[in-house]
Amino acid sequence: MRHARNNELTDRRSAAADAKTALLMAYRAAKMAAEPAQAARQAERSSLIEAREARRAKRERLKVEERTRAETVAAQEHAAIEAAAAAEIEARQSAENARISGLVQDEAARKTERDRRYAARKARQA
């Protein structure tokens, strides 16, 4: 009986080893069969990653262009405001100069008129 029991144990051991070997062979066969599909999935993943990176780069480029455009517009507006301020200052200055010139001419005309009246009065008295 003891010998039968050992045979039974060795049978179980060999059956387990055979099963393990069969599983290993099945795994290797499945791995070999799935290798083209895995390569295709990997290629698809890499193409998705490249597309994602291209979209990200495009978004970044658009952001930079928008920021540059906004800075350009802001600089143009700032220059326009400065030009308008300079034009306004020059217009005020020319208006002030014209007013002063007008006052000087009015004063000269009044002095001339006063001198004419004074001369006419002196001529009548003489």
H-state helical runs in the chain: 2-125
Reading phi first (left if > 0) and then psi (alpha if -120 to 50, else beta), residue 93 is in: alpha
Q: Average of pLDDT values for 93-102?
A: 94
What span, in angstroms and rounded, lies between the C-alpha atoms of 126 and 117?
Answer: 14
What span, in angstroms and rounded, lies between the C-alpha atoms of 30 and 47?
Answer: 25
pLDDT value of residue 6: 61
Q: What pLDDT, in 10s, does the model give residues 50-64? A: 999 999 999 999 999
Provide the whole-model pTM.
Answer: 0.46
Q: Which two tokens stand for residue 87?
A: 């034009």
Q: Which of 6-15, 22-31, 65-74 is modeled with the greatest confidence?
A: 65-74
- Rounded to an integer, what is the distance from CA 48 to the centroid of its chain? 25
